[in-house]
Amino acid sequence: MGRARPIPMMHLAYIDVRPFLYLGGLALVLLLGLLFSAVVMKGARKGRVAVAATAVWTVLFTLFLTAYGPFVGQEAVIEHRLTWTVEPEDPGGVAVVELSFIDHPGHHLWEQSEELLAHLEALGEPTVLGRFRVTRDYGRVRAYDLIEVAGLRGWASKGAAGGTRGQPASSPWD
């Protein structure tokens, strides 16, 4: 008799629990609706109460717990003043442009782009305006994209990153 293999726990992270939440919540809402019907309404039509409870639960679930609600995927374009520097490049490598937020010290972005570097050097300004597309879910930032720097839209990039140094007092995304 062999030993049973344990189920790896990392697979559980990939399970979408929303269907289970919907069905469990629906059962609870139906039970509460029918209990309300029996106690408060003295046995009013159980079919109507069940249909109304199902409709209300489905609407609330869709609004708050799916990707189709009004609070998910809200996009806005915001602007920040940025300073830029060039980090030393490896021989044969691509230049890395470091963009630092003026109003939010400690926050930085890095772009590996010769095209962006050429544009910024031709401009000759130490401070530029950056435009970002920010996507929020329930008011929390899900993603941000740098869409324009000093009038340049769409440049070839071999990679980009963002991060902080130290403990910044404020965030550019708040």
Task: Please give the full DSSP string across 120-160, using - where no structure is assigned.
Answer: HHHH--SEEEEEEEEEEETTEEEEEEEEEETTEE----S-E
Same domain, 85 and 141: yes
Each residue's pLDDT tens digit in the chain (174 positions)? Answer: 556 655 555 555 667 788 888 999 999 999 998 888 888 877 667 888 889 899 999 998 888 887 777 788 889 999 999 999 998 766 677 789 999 999 999 999 999 888 999 999 999 999 999 999 999 988 889 899 999 999 999 888 888 888 898 888 888 988
Residue 78 inside a domain? The answer is yes
Final residue in a domain of this structure, among 65, 84, 104: 65
DSSP string, 16-36: --HHHHHHHHHHHHHHHHHHH
Q: Name the DSSP letter for residue 72.
A: S
* Confidence (pLDDT) at 69: 75
Instruction: Round to whole Å and give the CA distance between 137 and 22.
Output: 20
Contact 26, 56 (CB under 8 A): no
Same domain, 84 and 144: yes
Residue 5 inside a domain? The answer is no
Residue 89 inside a domain? The answer is yes
Same domain, 88 and 158: yes
Same domain, 49 and 101: no
**Domain boundaries, position 48:** 15-65
* Confidence (pLDDT) at 40: 81
Same domain, 49 and 115: no
Final residue in a domain of this structure, among 30, 47, 65: 65
State the total domains in the chain: 2
Q: Is the pTM of this model over 0.75?
A: no
Which tokens hold the place of 75? Answer: 């996009």
